[in-house]
């Protein structure tokens, strides 16, 4: 009896001790919040090195893109402690900074000698600064991203298609450099039979619920001359948002949607675009660069069958692309800010950034992207570099959400539902955006 009691006590103590030890180990675990997508899996892999080096465990909270903003903005607005680190969307930076959700990183960067000059300038402005173009940093550029295009290289290189295309349009079938060329190629492939299957011209963003159609339409509008505001007078939008060229740009986007997209593609965003390309439905595919590593590896459409090109030029030769991507920030409501800052310091390291790129993440560090070997390191590396050099981003104001909702509605009403004209849509957008800024007391 006595020995049984001793055994029981011993077992109980052992269980208690192991639980206590594991609790101590988990007490310092950091939770990193991000979207559920391929780069997040790469980050999980990368972060194992951080745990090895520091003993700090990493937990991850990944939410699908469709709920990403809702979920995490709710978390930040309610001062939740779920996330110690967050990779928040570029447009959140204004709101997160002004509402105190993110820790300001200037002092930390100075102390740890992390210089923003070491990062691609567009990513610093896009992901880290608020107010824009001022040295106030709220995030470390983490995941460079930009809208670009993939195309079916194998279809483009078929002699019979090349011949037919040249006869019809008078130029060689090749990745387009202008939007007019892009539309001609899309028209050429629309409803064409290839290998016994009907294929379509292009997959473009048309999603209504979150930000899809805005990201897609802006990708075209920028190169047509759209500007958010008068460069000399902030928030003056009349004649800039709804300029003649902007109207032409939006008309072009609608024409592309009407002529050359797969049937039923009226609510298509990143996932639907990838599906359309992977299933061999489309000749060209607009999407953020983060999708490229996955497509490159795809057995059916990847490898030699896929090619990449930068967003084409507009009618006046202007060429811009919609910025995507995010910076990593420390959440000001976290109790583990010190450990979270350790992660930022580790992540900013040159070797870690190089590994980040090799695993499928898009590094924003100059030493990685300006490495002479970088353009040839992946088939899509050059297109990514060229695209990052021409980026523009949506409003990053604290009121970005109502600004985005307005453009989603105006663009979808016109492009997909065919209601009104492009001029009506953009005039309406000026009205909506003016109202938002008036509500904010900025006009």
Partner 1 sequence: MLNRTADNVARATPEPLAKKIRGISDKGLAWLFISPTILLLLAINIFPLFWAIYLSFTNYRANRPNEVVKNLGLANYQRILGDHDIWIAMQTTAHFVFWTILLQTVIGFTLAWVIDRKFRGHAFWTTIILVPMMLSPAVVGNFWRFLYEPQIGLFSYVISFVTGIPPTNVQMLSNVELAPWAIIIVDTWMWTPYVMLICLAGLRSIPEYIYEAAEVDRASNWRQFWSITLPMALPFIMLAVLFRGIENFKMFDMVNLLTGGGPGSTTEVASITLKRQAFESWRTGYSSAFAIILFVAVFGLANIYVKALNKVKQR
What is the contact surface with partner 1 in residues (CB under 8 A)?
69-70, 73-74, 77, 79, 95, 99-100, 198, 208-209, 262-267, 398, 401-402, 405, 409, 412-414, 416-419, 439
Q: Is the bond preceding residue 344 a cis peptide, omega within 30 degrees?
A: no
Cβ-contact 347, 51 below 8 angstroms: no
Q: Which is nearer to partner 1, 181 or 405 (CB)?
A: 405
Least separation in angstroms between CB 272 and partner 1: 11
Q: Which is nearer to partner 1, 10 or 100 (CB)?
A: 100
Least separation in angstroms between CB 212 and partner 1: 10
Which helix (H) or strand (E) element contains residue 330? strand 326-330
Cβ-contact 230, 319 below 8 angstroms: no
Q: Which is nearer to partner 1, 209 or 234 (CB)?
A: 209
Q: Which is nearer to partner 1, 66 or 367 (CB)?
A: 66
Q: Which is nearer to partner 1, 278 or 412 (CB)?
A: 412
DSSP states of 388-407 as a string? HTTEE----STTHHHHHHHH
Least separation in angstroms between CB 270 and partner 1: 15
Rounded to whole angstroms, how far apart are CA atoms 350 and 346? 9
Instruction: Report the chain's terminal Cα–Cα distance, integer Å.
Output: 84
| Torsion-angle region of 264 (φ positive above 0: left; ψ -120 to 50: alpha; else: beta) | left
Rounded to whole angstroms, how far apart are CA atoms 148 and 250? 18
Cβ-contact 328, 86 below 8 angstroms: yes
Least separation in angstroms between CB 406 and partner 1: 8
Q: Which is nearer to partner 1, 264 or 317 (CB)?
A: 264
| Helix, strand, coil share (%) of the chain residues, nearest 5 | 50, 15, 30
Rounded to whole angstroms, how far apart are CA atoms 179 and 289? 19
Total count of residues recorded for the chain:
443
Least separation in angstroms between CB 72 and partner 1: 12
Q: Which is nearer to partner 1, 312 or 398 (CB)?
A: 398
Least separation in angstroms between CB 319 and partner 1: 29
Least separation in angstroms between CB 349 and partner 1: 34
């Amino acid at each position: 009896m006595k020995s049984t009691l001793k055994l029981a006590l011993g077992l109980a103590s052992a269980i208690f001790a192991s639980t206590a030890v594991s609790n101590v180990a988990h007490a310092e675990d950091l939770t990193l919040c991000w979207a559920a997508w391929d780069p997040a899996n790469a980050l999980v892999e990368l972060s194992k090195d951080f745990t090895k080096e520091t003993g700090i465990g990493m937990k991850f909270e990944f939410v699908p893109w469709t709920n990403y903003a809702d979920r995490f903005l709710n978390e930040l607005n309610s001062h939740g402690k779920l996330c110690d680190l967050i990779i928040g969307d570029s447009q959140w930076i204004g709101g997160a900074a002004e509402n105190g959700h993110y820790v300001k990183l200037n002092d930390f960067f100075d102390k740890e000698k992390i210089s923003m000059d070491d990062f691609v300038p567009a990513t610093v402005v896009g992901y880290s600064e608020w107010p824009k173009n001022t040295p106030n940093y709220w995030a470390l550029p983490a995941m460079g991203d930009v809208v670009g295009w993939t195309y079916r290289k194998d279809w483009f290189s078929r002699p019979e298609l090349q011949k037919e295309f040249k006869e019809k349009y008078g130029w060689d079938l090749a990745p387009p450099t202008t939007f007019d060329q892009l539309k001609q190629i899309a028209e050429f492939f629309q409803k064409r039979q290839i290998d016994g299957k009907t294929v379509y011209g292009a997959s473009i963003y048309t999603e209504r619920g979150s930000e899809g159609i805005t990201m897609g339409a802006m990708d075209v509008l920028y190169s047509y001359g759209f500007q958010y505001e008068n460069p000399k007078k902030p928030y003056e939008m009349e004649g800039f948002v709804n300029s003649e060229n902007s109207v032409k740009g939006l008309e072009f986007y609608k024409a592309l949607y009407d002529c050359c997209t797969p049937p039923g593609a009226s609510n298509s965003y990143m996932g639907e675009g990838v599906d359309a390309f992977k299933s061999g439905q489309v000749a060209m595919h607009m999407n953020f660069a983060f999708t490229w590593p996955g497509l490159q590896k795809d057995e059916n459409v990847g490898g030699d069958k896929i090619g990449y090109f930068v967003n084409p030029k507009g009618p006046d030769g202007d060429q811009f692309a919609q910025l995507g991507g995010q910076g990593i920030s420390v959440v000001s409501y976290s109790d583990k800010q010190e450990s979270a800052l350790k992660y930022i310091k580790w992540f900013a390291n040159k070797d870690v950034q190089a590994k980040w790129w090799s695993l499928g993440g898009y590094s924003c560090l100059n030493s990685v992207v300006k490495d002479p070997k970088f353009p040839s390191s992946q088939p899509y590396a050059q297109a990514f570099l060229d695209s990052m050099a021409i980026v523009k981003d949506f409003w990053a104001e604290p009121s970005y959400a109502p600004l985005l909702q307005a453009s989603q509605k105006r663009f979808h009403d016109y492009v997909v539902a065919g209601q009104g004209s492009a001029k009506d849509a953009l005039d309406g957008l000026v009205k909506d955006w003016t109202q938002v800024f008036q509500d904010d007391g900025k006009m």
